[in-house]
Amino acid sequence: MIAGKIQNVTTAGLPPVMIDAIAQALAANPAQKAPGGYVLGERLLMNVMCFTTQAAQEKRAELHQDYIDIQILLEGAEQVRYGFAGSERACGEWHKEDDYQLCARIEAEQRLFMEPGMFVVFMPGEPHKPGCCVGDAADIKKVVLKLHRSALEA
């Protein structure tokens, strides 16, 4: 997991392909886009989401095998729970076509408090539970980029 502020993305230690993916997403002006999925490239998808945060205990963690998650908060405040690769517990079935698995909990769970203009990157195999509330439930708008892991090999 790597997190930071968008204005410092070039100094966050990300590979150039991830910096380019974030630049492509921001150039698409996601704050003005309706919620939904957008194809930005052969190995890059952008999901614009608007939803209400929930208590962490009401949510399940997610895992991916093939896609890197790059999440950018546009509006609101969000808590993201996460763990290290291999810390997921009590996981359900694998949804290969949609590249996700849901898990009941994360061992030694960590917390990240996001505000607009922040990003977080989760590599395949890193469990994460986004969309948790900070205090009371609140509406947020965010972008989730899905970058295929093969982009790192190019």
Q: What is the pLDDT of residues 102-146, one digit of tens each?
A: 999 999 999 999 999 999 999 999 999 999 999 999 999 999 999
Q: What is the pLDDT of residues 57-107, one digit of tens each?
A: 999 999 999 999 999 999 999 999 999 999 999 999 999 999 999 999 999
- CB 81 within 8 Å of CB 132: yes
Residue that is written with structure tokens 């997403």 in the block: 25
Beta bridge partners of 54: 132
Beta bridge partners of 80: 112
Q: Where does 14-109 show beta strands of DSSP type E?
A: 36-41, 44-52, 61-63, 67-75, 78-82, 88-95, 100-106
* CATH superfamily of the 2-153 domain: YhcH/YjgK/YiaL (2.60.120.370)
The one-character DSSP state at 34 is P
- CB 116 within 8 Å of CB 73: yes
Give the separation between CA 80 and CA 130, rounded to whole angstroms. Answer: 4
Q: What percent of the chain has pLDDT over 90?
A: 99
Q: Which of 41, 48, 49 is nearest to 20 (CA)?
A: 41
Instruction: Provide φ and ψ at 108, rounded to 5°.
Output: 55, 45
Domain ranges of the chain: 2-153
pTM, two decimal places: 0.95
Q: What is the pLDDT of residues 35-58, one digit of tens each?
A: 999 999 999 999 999 999 999 999
Sorting pLDDT into bands at 50, 70 and 90, what band is 22? very high
